[in-house]
Structure 1
Amino acid sequence: MAEQEKSEIQKLKDTLFYEQKNGAKTYTAAQTKQADAYCEAYKSFLDEAKMEREAVTYAVRTAQTKGFVAFEKGKQYQPGDKVYTVNRGKAAIFAVFGTKPMAEGVRMTAAHIDSPRLDLKQSPLYEDNDIALFKTHYYGGIKKYQWTTIPLALHGVLVKKDGTVLHVRIGEDAGDPLFCVTDLLPHLAKEQMKKPMTAFDAEKLNVIIGSRPFKDDKESDLVKLNILHLLNEKYGVTEADFLSAELAMVPAFKAADIGFDRSMIGSYGHDDRVCAYTSFTALLDTDLPAYTSVCVLADKEEIGSEGSTGLQSAFLAYFIADLAKPYGLDGRDVLTASKCLSADVNAAFDPTYPEVMEKKNASFINHGVVLSKFTGHGGKYDTNDASAEFTAEVIRLLDNNDIIWHMAELGKVDEGGGGTVAKYIGDLNVDVIDVGVPVLSMHAPFELVSKIDVYETYKAFVAFFKADAQA
C-alpha cells in the first residue's frame, strides 16, 4: 500500500514539478558522438576567428560555399534564396528567404563576434631601458591581472599611406613569435598584493615586443628602431601607420578539450562566438524556412553595442527595410511582426564560487541551452524583459523538438549583472529573449563551455529557423 502511495506521489511530482535535465546523464552514446563531432568544427572556427573581422571573413567564405550571394537592394527574392551583407568588415547579416509573406515578419538570431581584449593605443610603440613595448587600452570588461604573463598574439589591420589594408596575424602559426605582459615576482610584490584587484593599473598592461637594438652605437631608441625596421621589412609600414590601425593583443591559446572525459572546450572568445557559430551554422542548415530567417553577427557588444557596427546603430533596421521595400512594405511593420532569439551566453554555476549564484535560478554546465528572460542589473535596469507569451512560445518550441534547456538569470540580485543586444532588438519593437550557452570563467582569456550545451544550442536555433516549415 505504501509503495503504491509513493508511486502515486511520485507521479504527481513528475506532473507538477519543474526539474532541469542534465544532458550528460541523458545523452546516448550516439548523441555524445554527434555533439563531439559538431564541436570539432567549432574549435577550428575559434582558432581562426579571434577578432570580429576574422569572424566575418570566415562566415562570408563559408556561406558562399552554401549558395549565399551578396544582397541586392530593390530585388524581389524567391523562397529558398540566400543572401548576405557586410557592414564595414566587422558585422554581417545572413538571410534565407521563406515561403510565408514578408508581412508576417522574419525570424532572427542576433549574436556578437567581439570579445574582451587588449587594443593597442594609437601611438603604442615605445622603448624603456632597452626593452620595446606596446601601450594598450583594454576593450570590454576584464580582470586586468588575468592578462599578465600569458602568451599573446597580435591581430588586426594596418592601413598604409597608399590605402593598402594589411591584415596582421602574428602568434598563431608554428614558429611565430609571441608577446606578453609582465608581472612582479611575489618576492617583491608585497605592496602590490595589498591592493584590491580593481586597483590594478591599466597603464601597466604594456606588452613586451623586443629587446635587441638595431646596432651598437650611441643613438637612443635603438630597440624601438629595430622593431620598426623589422616591421617595415615585412609589411612596409612606418610608425605613423599605427595611428589609424586597428590592432589588438588576444590570447594565443588554441581551443582545446578540457577534462579527462573531454567533455568541455577551453578557449578564448566563447563569449560570444559560441552563440555566433551555433546560430550561423543553424542558418546554413536551413534551406526552405516558413519565415524568412536572418542571422545577425554584430560588433561592439562588449562596449555597449556602440558605433556603426554595433546594434545600437541602424544597420539591422535598414536591412529589414531593404528586405521589405520590394514587397511594398514598411520595414517597421515587418519588424513589429518579427521574433528574435538574442544569441548570447550566461554565467554557468561554478562550485568554487557558489556565493554569487542563486541555485534555483542559475545556469549549469551540461544542462543544455539556457534561456534568460532578462539580464541587466539591480531592479532589471538596462535589459530587455521578454514577455510571458513569447517566453512560453520558445519553451514550447524547445520541448516539441526534444531540446535540453533550462532557465537562468545572471547571478544573485544586486550581486552585479550584465547586458546583451536583446534590449536593442527590443527597441525595434521585436519580441526577443536571450538564448545561449552557459560559460565558466566568462570574460577571462580562457573560458570553458560544455560540448553538450553547444550542440543543444545549435539544435535550438535550427528548430527556431525551421518552425512551421513544411516537412
Structure 2
Amino acid sequence: MDRKNVWKTYTPAQKAELDQVNERYKACLDAGKTERECVAITVEEAKKAGYVSLAEAKAPLKAGDKIYAVCMDKSIVLFQIGRQPLEKGMNILGAHIDSPRIDVKQNPLYESDEFAYLDTHYYGGIKKYQWLTIPLALHGVVAKKDGTVINVSIGEKDDDPVFVISDLLVHLAAKQMEQKASAVIEGEKLDLILASCPLEEAEGLDKEEKDAVKANVVKILKESYNIEEEDFVSAELEIVPAGKARDCGIDRSMILAYGQDDRVCGFTSLFAMLDADVPERTACCILVDKEEIGSVGATGMQSRFFENVVAELIAMESGESELKVRRALQNSKMLSSDVSAAYDPMFADAFEKRSSAFFGKGLVFNKFTGSRGKNGSNDANAEYLAQIRRAMDEEQVAYQFAELGKVDVGGGGTIAYIMANYGMEVIDSGVPVLSMHAPWETTSKADVYEAYKGYLAFLKNM
C-alpha cells in the first residue's frame, strides 16, 4: 500500500497550524531535556489548561473535570473525565519521557594529570562513540541533607560553559580504528572533562595537596551552587547534548534535536490532551520514566502508580471498588506512543522497504514490535486495528503501518505489553525518527503534526 507524502496535500491554513505545533514542540524540547524537566513543563501547561492535582480534586467527579498526578517528579498522568463512567474504560495516550544519555555516578569527582573529571555511567542504548567531542550540558538535581533540592542546568545559555568527553586524535588512533564500533570507547572512559585550572596556593590550598584542579572545582561548586562534594551522593545529574532544537534542511521541513525518542510522542500526546474537548470516554495521558531501561522502578510503567491513581478516581466517582478499577483498566483502549525507525536510504540494507516507516507519510502504527520472532512484543488485535483506521480516517489523519527493520536484524520494545497485561486493547504508534538514540535525532515536521492530529482523533473517536 503506497502512502502519499502528506506535504503535497496541505493547504496554507494547515501549513500554518503545522508550524504552530512544531514551534510549540521545539520550545518543549529545549525546556525539557530530562524527565524531571518534562514533568515540570507538563504540570505548568496542565494548570494553564484548568487541571488540578489529585490532592485538590473534589468528589464526586463529573464530566469535564481535569486532574493530574505526579510520581516522584519523574512521571505524570493526566485525566479529563468523560461522560461515561470510568468503569466503561478510558482512551489512553502513553509515552515515555526518558531518553538515552550519560548519568553521573554517586562518587564522581576526581583528578587525573591536572584534569578534573566526573565519572559516569551511560543510560539506555547508545552508540558510545557518538558522544565524544560534542558540546555537552549538565542537568539534574542535587538533594542536600537539610531537604533542600538544588536544580542544575549548565551549558544551555549562551554565556554558560559546556563540557566534553575527549577522543583520541586520529594521528595516534591506528589501533583504535581497528576496533569494533562497540569497543572504540569503553563505558568507563566516557568521563566528562570538568576543569583544568588548579586552585592557587594563596587561596588556601595545602602545599601537599595533589588534586589542585579538583579543589578548584569544589570551591566553584560551593560558591556558585552551595554544593559540597559529599552532595553528589544524593544527586541525579544527567549529561545531555548542549544546544537547542533546530530546523533542519534548507526547506526547514525537519527538526534536529536531542531526546526526540520519545519526547516527540510525549509532547504531541500532551498537546492533544490539553486541546481535547470533553470526551465521551475519559481521556488519559501517561508520561513515564525508565522505558529505556525496561520500564522498571517506581517511576516506570511497571510500577503500580497508574493503577493506584485510577483507583483513587474510581473512589471519588462512585466509591471504592476493586472490581470497577479492574473493569476500567480492562475496558480501556491505548496508543502506546513511541517512535519508529524511519527508512534511511543510506542504510537501506537494514530495512524491509514494504514494511518501513517513511518521513512525510504521517503517524506510524506498529501492530507488533519486539525482535525477530516478535519476542517481547504486544501484538494488537485485527479488530482494534480496524477501529484505529476508522478513527484516523474520520479526522483525515495521515498514517502508515510499519515494522522496526528487517525481521532478523534487530528490534525494540515499548510500554505496550505492560498495559496489555490489564486486558486492554493496545497498539504501538509514533513518529518516524532518523538516527534514533543518537545525541541528535531527526524528525519530519509533517509527521509531528500528523501525530498531534492522530492523538486528538483517538481521544475523540474511540
Please give the TM-score of this superposition, normalised by the length of structure 2. 0.96
User: Which of 73, 78, 82 is the aligned partner of 1:94?
Assistant: 78
Unaligned runs of 5+ in 1: 1-17
**Conserved? CA contact 1:21–1:405, under 8 Å:** no
Matched, 1:123 2:107: yes
Task: Report SS of the residue matched to 2:215.
Answer: helix
Q: Percent identity?
A: 50
How far does residue 90 in structure 1 lie from its aligned partner after superposition?
A: 0.4
Please give the TM-score of this superposition, normalised by the length of structure 1. 0.94
Query: Partner of 2:325 in structure 1?
Result: 331
Query: Partner of 2:32 in structure 1?
Result: 49
How far does residue 383 in structure 1 lie from its aligned partner after superposition?
A: 1.2
How far does residue 21 in structure 1 lie from its aligned partner after superposition?
A: 2.0
Task: Report SS of the residue matched to 2:138.
Answer: strand
> Hey, what's the Cα distance between the residues in 2 that align with 1:360 and 1:414?
16
Task: Report SS of the residue matched to 2:92.
Answer: strand
User: Which of 270, 279, 293 is the aligned partner of 1:280?
Assistant: 270
> Which AA in structure 1 matches 2:40?
T
Matched, 1:377 2:402: no
How far does residue 75 in structure 1 lie from its aligned partner after superposition?
A: 2.6
Partner deviation per Cα, 1:52-78 (whole Å, 9 max, x = no partner): 000000000111011100114783211
**Conserved? CA contact 1:256–1:266, under 8 Å:** yes
Matched, 1:340 2:334: yes
Q: CA RMSD for the aligned pairs?
A: 1.2
Q: What is the number of residues matched between the two proteins?
A: 451
Query: Partner of 1:443 in structure 2?
Result: 437
Query: Partner of 1:354 in structure 2?
Result: 348
User: Which of 4, 15, 18 is the aligned partner of 1:35?
Assistant: 18
> Hey, what's the Cα distance between the residues in 2 that align with 1:392 and 1:161?
55
Matched, 1:300 2:290: yes
> Which AA in structure 1 matches 2:121?
H
> Hey, what's the Cα distance between the residues in 1 that align with 2:23 and 2:335?
24
Matched, 1:429 2:419: no
Partner deviation per Cα, 1:220-260 (whole Å, 9 max, x = no partner): 10100100100011122211110111001100021000000
Pairing 1:6-405 to 2, within 5 Å after superposition: 18-72=1-55, 75-199=59-183, 200-216=185-201, 217-326=207-316, 327-328=318-319, 329=321, 330-405=324-399
How far does residue 125 in structure 1 lie from its aligned partner after superposition?
A: 0.7
**Conserved? CA contact 1:440–1:449, under 8 Å:** yes
**Conserved? CA contact 1:321–1:332, under 8 Å:** no
Partner deviation per Cα, 1:93-116 (whole Å, 9 max, x = no partner): 011011112221111011000000
**Conserved? CA contact 1:130–1:221, under 8 Å:** yes
**Conserved? CA contact 1:342–1:432, under 8 Å:** yes
How far does residue 30 in structure 1 lie from its aligned partner after superposition?
A: 2.7
**Conserved? CA contact 2:80–2:284, under 8 Å:** yes
> Which AA in structure 2 matches 1:290?
E
Pairing 1:404-419 to 2, within 5 Å after superposition: 404-419=398-413
Task: Report SS of the residue matched to 2:43.
Answer: helix
How far does residue 33 in structure 1 lie from its aligned partner after superposition?
A: 2.3
Partner deviation per Cα, 1:256-282 (whole Å, 9 max, x = no partner): 000000000000000000100001110
Q: Which runs of 4+ in 1 moved over 4 A?
A: none
How far does residue 31 in structure 1 lie from its aligned partner after superposition?
A: 1.8
Query: Partner of 1:15 in structure 2?
Result: none
Between 183-192 and 98-107, the greater mean CA deviation after superposition: 98-107
